[in-house]
Chain A
Amino acid sequence: MNMQGTKLADYGFNTLSVHAGAAPDPTTGARATPIYQTTSYVFDDVDHAASLFGLQQFGNIYTRIGNPTQAVLEERVAALEGGTAALAAASGHGAQLLCFHSLMQPGDEFIASRQLYGGSVNQFGQAFKNFGWNVKWADGRDPESFRRLVHAKTKAIFIESIANPGGVVIDIEAISAVAREAGIPLIVDNTLATPYLVRPIEWGADIVLHSMTKFLGGHGNSIGGMIVDAGTFDWSRTKKYPMLSEPCPSYHGIKMHETFGDMAFAITCRVLGLRDLGPAISPFNAYLLLTGIETLPLRMQKHCENARAVAQHLSRHPKVSWVSYANLPNDPCYGLAQTYCPKGAGAVFTFGVRGGYEAGVKLVNSVKLFSHLANVGDTRSLIIHPASTTHRQLTDDQKTHAGAGPDVVRVSIGIEDVADIISDLDQGLAA
């Protein structure tokens, strides 16, 4: 029997970034992963179709449920994170929706860190309320604040590894201990760190989420999200997660955890979430994101190197009152950054401009190289004044908690020449 292949443990992170999940196309020999731009796939016969629809056999049915280009991307990210399986979605927010849909019933609660991307604060606090899913807010810097909020209806804990926009590094291991004691999964949004900097599963995460829109894709050209199943959580220990542990009416009564074992969560999000809610990624976006990931380690090195130099420069700048970047030795997160992300604290950070709201607005209006837009994790350097844009909808209290007060400017440092990045900020601050 001709079975190629070697154990993955033999490969390092750079190799996985280029190769994991991909193999030459069996029909054509094409070496780059083809874009399977198709909606549907033929069945060999009625029995084959029945096996696929009944989940008795894996295979392609319809691109809302899965696609071969997407599948390579999923396996690649699962490998980089050290998970058992993964599921891509149309966006990071789509991935979050699918993730909670598999966990929550109306009236259930989950606990989230306040230190989150503003869009996630909205999704959890507003949109999810319509489903009867209730969020309780804890302080990401204080693991005990999560413990105090746990009770019978709590189904999960959600944190970001490096929080957007504040650049706060979260103590994943301490919070995972709270989740384990409570018998609930820990979900970590690893968007800003990427698995190059932090691998949350190694610190106790049960589910890892990504907005691949950011550093994973890395080129600011495609929206996409990912759910990675660590395979660590025992979904059948209680009846708290009926979608995973109880017979499933739309699949002849199969039980997802019993049938799919350590990849039950990823499969449930696909065959019950993606199938029925529909936020599928396009094959073309999957292709662009996959191509981006091939250079993830190289880009992240450069992003982090540039970010550190820019943060150091700003911390000495007379027009800057503070810089929140976990790789600066006097930062409150410096110790956590040394533990969780010794290779760098990412490339997104905030600083305070002297002169408050108006000074922040003036800076974003004056820069010439930085792009003023609502994204992070592009090859290009990006800048935004959250109080007047992304975090505008939040109350003043929420803004401050989310690290988006009136003087706060957020930058995402690109991979241009660092001297050019610094001189653009200097001229903008002088304006």
Chain B
Amino acid sequence: MPEYSDDVIKKVLGSVKTIAIVGVSASEAKPSHFVMKYMQGKRYRCIPVNPGLAGKTLLGETVYPDLKSIPFPVDMVDIFRNSEAAGQVSDDAVAIGAKVVWMQLGVVNAAAAARAESAGLTVIMDRCPKMEYSRFSGEFGWVGRNSRIIDNRRKILGAGRAALARDAIGKGKGTL
């Protein structure tokens, strides 16, 4: 598993606003669907990308066939494809001016990552943004997840993308 410092991941999640989710499924039972819905709930704008669903609406957003068809800029590209297919998607992310390439758990393409990094992008591989977000927000602890974080302050409400009071109040462990 590639290693990333907590600071790198926090910086990514704290700075991006628009996320294209490539390979997202229309099925409510699939992790990609979960991730999109969850990140929307944290006030990220998520743009679904899936050629098989192009033109349809998913979770309130128009689905695009590929990254290049999205008519506005996206900050991050989250890839739910196999490691090999992730290479082309990553190159497309560079081409459309994204700032971050994120490959999901189990997805690693070192050559594509090197190309994206040399174009100035930040690359995270073999991680899930929903899991990372949950880890930093304290939500992960709700299901006994070992967050690997020790915190001596209460989470400050109202700071950052996810910081809706509704996410924090009364749930024991706060939010960002």
Residue numbers of B with Cβ under 8 A of A are 5-6, 10, 13-15, 27-31, 33-34, 37-38, 41, 105-106, 128, 131, 134, 136, 138-157, 159-161, 166, 168-176
A and B contact pairs by CB, cutoff 8 A, 10 listed: A3-B14, A3-B176, A19-B150, A56-B34, A60-B142, A66-B142, A71-B173, A74-B141, A252-B29, A261-B128
Tell me if B150 and A41 are in contact (CB < 8 A): no
- The yes or no answer to A15 lying at the interface (CB within 8 A) is yes
B155 and A1 form a contact (CB under 8 A): no
Binding site for B on A (CB under 8 A): 1-9, 11, 15-16, 19-21, 23-27, 29, 34, 36, 41-42, 44, 51, 54-60, 66, 68, 70-72, 74-75, 78-79, 83-88, 247, 251-255, 258-259, 261, 263, 266-267, 270
CA separation between A19 and B149, bound complex, in Å?
9
**Is A1 a contact of B139 with CB atoms below 8 Å?**
no
Known: A25-B172, A59-B142, A259-B34. A5 touches B5 (CB 8 A): no
Contact B172 A36 (CB under 8 A): yes
Could you tell me if B154 and A24 are in contact, using CB atoms closer than 8 angstroms? yes
Interface residues of chain B: helix, strand, loop or mixed (majority): loop
In contact, B142 and A258 (Cβ under 8 angstroms): no
Closest to B151 in A: A23
B171 lies within 8 A of A1 (CB):
no
Beyond A51-B37, A78-B145, A252-B29, whether A15 also contacts B170 by CB under 8 A is no
Residues on A with C-beta less than 8 A from B161 are: 1
Chain B residue contacts of A60, Cβ below 8 A = 142, 171-172
Contacts of A55 in B (CB 8 A): 34
Known: A23-B151, A24-B152. A66 touches B143 (CB 8 A): yes
Name the distance in Å between A120's Cβ and chain B's nearest Cβ.
23
Contact B142 A58 (CB under 8 A): yes
What is the CA–CA distance of A281 and B115 in the complex, to the nearest angstrom? 51
Among B14, B29, B38, B153, find the residue whose CB has the most chain A CB atoms closer than 10 A: B29
Query: Bound state CA distance, A319 and B168, in angstroms?
Result: 63
Contact A26 B157 (CB under 8 A): yes
Which of B5, B34, B150, B155 is A26 in contact with, Cβ under 8 Å? B155
A75 and B146 form a contact (CB under 8 A): yes
Question: Please, which residues of chain A bring their CB within 8 A of the CB of B128?
Answer: 261
Minimum CB–CB distance from B23 to chain A (whole Å) comes to: 14
What residues of chain A lie closer than 8 Å to B29, measured between beta carbons? Answer: 247, 251-255
Taking a contact as CB atoms under 8 Å apart, the answer to whether A6 and B6 are in contact is yes
**Would you call A258 and B145 a contact (CB within 8 A)?**
no
Give the one of B15, B38, B152 with max A CB within 10 A. Answer: B152
- Identity of the chain A residue whose Cβ is nearest the Cβ of B153 in the assembled complex: A4
Q: Are the C-beta atoms of B150 and A20 separated by less than 8 Å?
A: yes
Contact of A266 with B143 in the complex, beta carbons under 8 Å: yes
